[in-house]
Structure 1
Amino acid sequence: MGSRSSKPKRSYNVQPVEQRTSSATTIDVEEKLAVKTTPSRSPSPAPTAASAGAPPTAVEIDTKLVPLWLNETQFVDILKATVPQFSKIRSFTAKPAMGAGENYATLMLRVTIDVELTDKQTKNVSYMMKVAHDTPEMQQMLQLGNFFVSENAAYTEVLPKLDELYTSKGIDIKFAPSAYQLDASQEPKLANTVIMYDLGQDGYGNLNRLECLNLEQTKFALRKLAQFHAASARFVEVHGLYRDIFLYGMFGQNKELGKIVMEQFMGPMFKLFLKNLSNYKDGEKYRQKFEKFFAELGSEMFNLIDYNPDEFNVLNHGDCWLNNLLFKKGPNQELLDMIFVDFQNPKYGSPAQDLLYFIFTSVKIEHKVKDFDFLIRYYYDQLVEHLNLLGYEGRQPSLRELHMQLYKYGTWAVTASIMVLPVVILDPTAAATMENFLGDSEAGDKFKNLLYSNPRYRDQIEQLMPWFDNRGLLK
């Protein structure tokens, strides 16, 4: 893969990183060359948001967010390893790939590089790069639990082996983009990055998060999720139990630390949800139950996170919502494939976590409740099919057992509906920043209040509250 970063070549005519003033971080190497007239520029540029099926971004992307320490020499070894006949870099551009509200925890960059091949032709390559926000809130999060470590481990150690389990059966399935690691010895901040092949080059993109998934789209996603879960269960039989970081999460076995962080993170959200409860139809009817639910959540969540070896367990994606699913469409807009991204918090445990998180954040409201049992049955049938295909030798769960796990771990449905769903269906806004999401400032409270006063969210939560209550999830 090329994990070592080479030294800058003296033939590069590159402006020093510290001196750049261009907000998009563009480097033209050998400006006098007629790059545009050189043949064989491939692959084609990544599709626009509209062509990928996502809603147009209404918020201007802040290109000044591109870190100044990022430069083209850090990618030379990756290019040598992955681009046949690589000779040298001609130009290098890095710019934010998403507007406000599309990604909170990290900054996503699209890195586009024009390379010259040994036959003097030019090739365009593109990567997606995840970097940490340069904010006090992010630095504090990284000190408490570094999710870049777990994500890179997932991409390099686990996901390729899941693909191989299907390849060994003659089936071509890919769960995530190819990923690479950069050498942090020259730039320590590279340790907190994830580099991925840009699937936009192959026609992948997000669907419209504001609309959520219809029934057929949901079934398509559940099939891929079942394939992923089946491979992750078989993985344990072939390779042994997962590393501790996947068994216990980013906080390890320090439940007290995790509880404190969770309360600091969730507390302001719960406060504003309760503040808006009176604006929802019959909201006051559930106030006492929600207050008790929130008060007990810290202890309950960490009891639920522990995996039970007596249950059927899989590696959960851990953040399975629409923006972390990339779809590829055919000429008639039919779905051809789906790929997972953003493995910041994969967790070994009951598949109920991913199922509840996905359904209650990413599926149209008319299917969440009315078709819930059907969706679980569809997932279950796909899971069993692929466990058998992969030669899984362990005890498979019955459909009844899966439903019992969904009740046991039902807290995931409620928390996802309060913490994640309002983010998913909020219209683009410049206020959608990590600082406002985590902070308790006036601007932060104003932003979070937008989440819960949004008519789109009010319509959904009014239908979900009685469903949660009738299933006993609010206690």
Structure 2
Amino acid sequence: MPEENPHPVPSWLSKDYVQQKLSTYLKDESLRLEKWEISPAVPNGENYASVMTRINVEYTTQGSKKKLATSFLMKTTFAEKDPAFHVLVNYGVYSREMDMYQRILPKMADLVKKEIQDSRRLFAGSLNVNKETNSIIFEDLSLEHYKVACRLKKLDLEHSHLVLEKLASFHAAGAVLAEREPGIFTVNYDRGFYNRHTRGYQPVMTNLLKALSRSLNLDQELRQKYQAKINRLVDQVMVYGERSTTNHPGDFLTLTHGDLWTTNVMFQYDDKGHPTNAVFIDFQFSVWNSPAIDLHYFFSTSIHDELRLQNQPELVQFYYYKLKDALKKVNYSGHIPSLFDFQLQFRARAFYAVFASLMFEPLMLYNGKEMASLGQIISEGESGMRLKDDVFQQECVRKKLHLTLPYLEQWGLLDEM
């Protein structure tokens, strides 16, 4: 294992374990693992809720005269001693994602393929889901030439439209699945970043806001206009977040992705470089809620600034008609809101844009030298404070605040709510 990986290899991860899982997946008992290598699969700053490992293997079978090679990805939980584990454990993220891959996603993919009539991939298949080790082994979609877009450059209109189209199918499948199988999302699908059961993310949110406030001392204009509002928000962020994700009678609700940003989408391209499919990954925070939270989160973290600031109503409209069409194809019998009502629902969830753009987006843009992790964000030690200050003192973040803060203030999202 490379030295730079801060997470040790689990003791149960052995050559025999990998051989057994691969043999079962390929349905070939003659398979013998000749070589295997493991390495970190995700760079610093691109994953905060799990450990991702790439496993490269060479193997032989009785039916092959030469060695075969492949790779796959494995997701595991943080060790219990890791501070991130104690933030995440009460959210049920690990058991939820295993349930998604075992039980939910295959049904949703089948709905999308047969009824919405979209044969493209919806998610990466899993080789093995192991509840004893809290691990999932996935297909490596890079072998099919899927790749993640650059989190720093973000997505243009063509990529954004494709994501919204696939998201509409995902949401339609979730809504009709809940209709056909009542109670399927009752257990463990009620705990997104904000919820009424746990506030494990509170130190993450408040520490990031405090770092944002400190960074405003470097800009007199922003400090005078916004620092007092950011300081007041520190004490209210969880209250406002929970309020923004509370479901009300008449809301259109479905299974949301819950953590939809650039690195949780993989794209496949044609020969001319145009994206032809978008596949979602990382379903740890999938939650039963308004699809508006996925839209706010995606718009605030993953698309070009001019699209986010100038074209959101149009993008919501584009998504809405894709959703409406998909719901009709799956014969959804629930109430489909009008575009006007859906825009109101989107507006009612707008605080999600505050947390996504002021707290999470700066982290997503971080490209510095400090080790970025939940433990460091929570920590008030020297290295933790250095990371958080470095995040908000990036030149790109400081420039974006001159756009983002006025935009949020115009909607009343920085005032008392």
With normalisation by structure 2, the TM-score equals 0.91
What is the alpha-carbon distance in structure 1 between the residues aligned to residue 35 and residue 183 of structure 2? Answer: 44
What is the alpha-carbon distance in structure 2 between the residues aligned to residue 220 and residue 251 of structure 1? Answer: 25
Task: Provide the residue aligned with 1:110 in structure 2.
Answer: 54
Moved over 4 A (4+): 250-254
Residues 41-80 of structure 1: pairs in structure 2 closer than 5 A? 61-62=4-5, 65-80=8-23
- Residue by residue, what CA displacement relative to the aligned partner does 1:130-181 show, whole Å, maximum 9, x if unpaired? 1223343134235434411011111111111111112323431432111243
What is the alpha-carbon distance in structure 1 between the residues aligned to residue 360 and residue 194 of structure 2? Answer: 23
Secondary structure at 1:464 match in 2: helix
Shift of the 438–69 alpha-carbon distance from structure 1 to 2, 3 Å rule, reads farther
What is the alpha-carbon distance in structure 2 between the residues aligned to residue 331 and residue 428 of structure 1? Answer: 34
Q: What percentage of residue pairs aligned between the two structures are identical?
A: 25
Question: What amino acid maps onto 1:119 in structure 2?
Answer: G
Secondary structure at 2:183 match in 1: coil
Secondary structure at 2:201 match in 1: helix
- Residue by residue, what CA displacement relative to the aligned partner does 1:188-229 show, whole Å, maximum 9, x if unpaired? 5x2x22221111111111111111111221111111111111
What is the alpha-carbon distance in structure 2 between the residues aligned to residue 250 and residue 386 of structure 1? Answer: 25
Question: What amino acid maps onto 1:171 in structure 2?
Answer: D
- For residue 81 of structure 1, report the CA deviation from its aligned partner: 3.2
- Any gaps of 5 or more consecutive residues in structure 2? none
Residues 26-175 of structure 1: pairs in structure 2 closer than 5 A? 61-62=4-5, 65-87=8-30, 88-121=32-65, 122-134=67-79, 135-141=81-87, 143-169=89-115, 170-175=117-122
Shift of the 240–338 alpha-carbon distance from structure 1 to 2, 3 Å rule, reads same
Shift of the 402–252 alpha-carbon distance from structure 1 to 2, 3 Å rule, reads closer
Question: What amino acid maps onto 1:218 in structure 2?
Answer: S
Counterpart selection for 1:466 from 403, 406, 413:
406
Q: Is contact 1:327–1:338 with CA below 8 Å preserved after alignment? A: yes
Counterpart selection for 1:198 from 131, 140, 143:
140
What is the alpha-carbon distance in structure 2 between the residues aligned to residue 414 and residue 407 of structure 1? Answer: 12
Question: What amino acid maps onto 1:460 in structure 2?
Answer: K
Task: Provide the residue aligned with 1:176 in structure 2.
Answer: 123
Shift of the 195–414 alpha-carbon distance from structure 1 to 2, 3 Å rule, reads same
Q: Is contact 1:305–1:349 with CA below 8 Å preserved after alignment? A: yes
Mean CA deviation greater in 163-172 or 108-117: 163-172
- For residue 431 of structure 1, report the CA deviation from its aligned partner: 2.1
Secondary structure at 1:345 match in 2: coil
Q: Is 1:234 matched with 2:183?
A: no
Secondary structure at 1:440 match in 2: coil
Residues 318-329 of structure 1: pairs in structure 2 closer than 5 A? 318-329=258-269
Q: Is contact 2:130–2:136 with CA below 8 Å preserved after alignment? A: no
Shift of the 289–320 alpha-carbon distance from structure 1 to 2, 3 Å rule, reads same
- Residue by residue, what CA displacement relative to the aligned partner does 1:99-123 show, whole Å, maximum 9, x if unpaired? 2122222221011222212224332
Q: Is contact 2:148–2:263 with CA below 8 Å preserved after alignment? A: yes
Q: Is contact 1:79–1:86 with CA below 8 Å preserved after alignment? A: no
Number of corresponding residues: 410
- For residue 285 of structure 1, report the CA deviation from its aligned partner: 0.9
Mean CA deviation greater in 318-327 or 102-111: 102-111
Counterpart selection for 1:396 from 317, 327, 336:
336
Q: Is contact 1:61–1:98 with CA below 8 Å preserved after alignment? A: no
Task: Provide the residue aligned with 2:161 in structure 1.
Answer: 219
Question: What amino acid maps onto 2:5 in structure 1?
Answer: D
- Residue by residue, what CA displacement relative to the aligned partner does 1:62-85 show, whole Å, maximum 9, x if unpaired? 387433431122234432333154
Task: Provide the residue aligned with 1:418 in structure 2.
Answer: 358
Question: What amino acid maps onto 2:76 in structure 1?
Answer: V
Q: Is 1:270 matched with 2:214?
A: no
RMSD: 2.3
- For residue 420 of structure 1, report the CA deviation from its aligned partner: 1.2
What is the alpha-carbon distance in structure 2 between the residues aligned to residue 230 and residue 182 of structure 1? Answer: 26
What is the alpha-carbon distance in structure 2 between the residues aligned to residue 251 and residue 396 of structure 1? Answer: 26
Question: What amino acid maps onto 1:276 in structure 2?
Answer: S
What is the alpha-carbon distance in structure 2 between the residues aligned to residue 181 and residue 308 of structure 1? Answer: 38
Shift of the 67–273 alpha-carbon distance from structure 1 to 2, 3 Å rule, reads same
Task: Provide the residue aligned with 2:315 in structure 1.
Answer: 375
Question: What amino acid maps onto 2:53 in structure 1?
Answer: L
Secondary structure at 1:102 match in 2: coil
Task: Provide the residue aligned with 1:4 in structure 2.
Answer: none
- Residue by residue, what CA displacement relative to the aligned partner does 1:290-328 show, whole Å, maximum 9, x if unpaired? 233332222232233333352101111111010111111
What is the alpha-carbon distance in structure 1 between the residues aligned to residue 337 and residue 367 of structure 2? Answer: 40
- Any gaps of 5 or more consecutive residues in structure 1? 1-22, 25-59
- For residue 383 of structure 1, report the CA deviation from its aligned partner: 1.0
Q: Is contact 1:283–1:462 with CA below 8 Å preserved after alignment? A: no
Shift of the 251–370 alpha-carbon distance from structure 1 to 2, 3 Å rule, reads closer
Shift of the 97–367 alpha-carbon distance from structure 1 to 2, 3 Å rule, reads same
What is the alpha-carbon distance in structure 1 between the residues aligned to residue 218 and residue 347 of structure 2? Answer: 28
Question: What amino acid maps onto 1:128 in structure 2?
Answer: L
Shift of the 368–233 alpha-carbon distance from structure 1 to 2, 3 Å rule, reads same
Shift of the 434–401 alpha-carbon distance from structure 1 to 2, 3 Å rule, reads same
Q: Is 1:439 matched with 2:379?
A: yes
Task: Provide the residue aligned with 2:326 in structure 1.
Answer: 386
**Structure whose CA Rg is larger:** 1
With normalisation by structure 1, the TM-score equals 0.81
